[in-house]
Amino acid sequence: MTQTVQSSLQTVTCSTCFYHCILGPEQTGQCRARYNHGGEILPLNYGQLTALALDPVEKKPLKMFYPGSMILSAGSYGCNLHCPFCQNAEISQAGRELQTEYMSPRELAGRAQSLSIKGNIGVAYTYNEPLVCWEYVRDTAKIVHDLGMKNVVVTNGSVCEPVLEKILPYIDAMNIDLKGFTPEWYRYLGGDLETVKKAVTVCAVRCHVELTTLIVPGWNDGDDEMKLLAQWVASVDAGIPLHITRFFPRYHMSGLEPTPVESVYRLASAARRYLANVFTGNC
């Protein structure tokens, strides 16, 4: 009996995302970035960067947030979704086996400040899913704000509301992937549509939000689905920018054909019936 109780005390539930992974001692969750250490859920990838680059802010993509500016983009490893078309699968679908470079929050904020002479406005947390290590985003974003700069999060939105509440006081803009509008498609990707819808709703009243929908031929390219998606976004705020982007073969979907350009334009036209700011990408 004593052994059973002791074992259960060592098992912890991660509350970062909808998976609510139940982790035994030193066990890592589905995201490959959070683990149970001594009965506490900690991020393995805190400050462990796999990518760092100065990008145009439009590349995030953000069309209506300081256009023409540059932003220092930083990424680590891990993601709580398993999209078969991921363009950054080598880091998002990997774990601590990757070679990384540690950069403290203060060091990253300082690097961003030093690049202000090149038009840099702050830090974008991106490339992998940054909110599997929301602690690093929070800690860095506080310092970035203290330096008078901006914070951008590029996320799949598949996190629980308490996590958003911890970071939103320091976030100026987000691009959230709204990968489609059917529960079946989200389940195929390892996600949950309702969690993402909740994230969009919460974030849209707290910071600048833009959305991205990648159109994958035969999967989420139906007119009816885009109509429902656009109508729902309009019910939150018809001014939210929506990026409708073209798929190119990647990762486990390398055998597919790229999305026909005319499909992207057709769906963008459908979305514009309900939304004021619709952009096409990768065309």
pLDDT, tens digit (0-9, with 9 covering 90-100), for 167-216 = 999 999 999 999 999 999 999 999 999 999 999 999 999 999 999 999 99
Residue 254 has a pLDDT of 87
pLDDT in tens, 96-123: 899 999 999 999 999 999 999 999 999 9
What percent of the chain is predicted at pLDDT more than 70? 97
Residue 30 has a pLDDT of 95
Q: Provide the pLDDT confidence category of residue 91 given band limits of 50, 70 and 90.
A: very high
Residue 53 has a pLDDT of 98
Residue pair 204/236 in contact by the 8 Å Cβ criterion: yes
Q: Provide the pLDDT confidence category of residue 9 given band limits of 50, 70 and 90.
A: low
Of the listed ranges 5-14, 22-31, 62-71, 229-238, the one predicted with least confidence: 5-14
Q: In the predicted model, is pLDDT for residue 276 greater than 60? A: yes
Question: Mean pLDDT, to the nearest integer, of 135-157?
Answer: 98
Q: For residue 92, what are the contacts with CB-CB under 8 A and spacing of at least 6? A: 77, 78, 79, 86, 127, 128, 129
Residue 255 has a pLDDT of 87
Residue 8 has a pLDDT of 52
Residue entry with tokens 């974003």:
141
**194 CB neighbour count, 10 Å cutoff:** 11
| Strands 120-125 and 70-75, sheet pairing | parallel
Q: Provide the pLDDT confidence category of residue 3 given band limits of 50, 70 and 90.
A: very low
Beta bridge partners of 36: 41
Q: In the predicted model, is pLDDT for residue 6 greater than 90? A: no
Residue 283 has a pLDDT of 86
Strands (E), the chain: 12-13, 22-23, 34-37, 40-43, 48-49, 51-56, 70-75, 101-102, 120-125, 150-155, 173-177, 208-215, 242-246, 278-281
Q: For residue 156, what are the contacts with CB-CB under 8 A and spacing of at least 6? A: 79, 80, 81, 129, 176, 177, 179, 191, 196
Q: Provide the pLDDT confidence category of residue 7 given band limits of 50, 70 and 90.
A: very low
Residue entry with tokens 């704000």:
145
Residue 2 has a pLDDT of 30
CA 194 to the chain's CA centroid: 15
φ and ψ at residue 75, rounded to 5 degrees: -140, 160
pLDDT in tens, 11-38: 999 999 999 999 999 999 999 999 999 9
CA distance 132 to 80: 7
Distances (CA, A) of 56 to 19, 52, 118, 207: 33, 13, 11, 20
Residue 24 has a pLDDT of 95
What is the residue type of 34? R
Question: Mean pLDDT, to the nearest integer, of 67-83?
Answer: 97
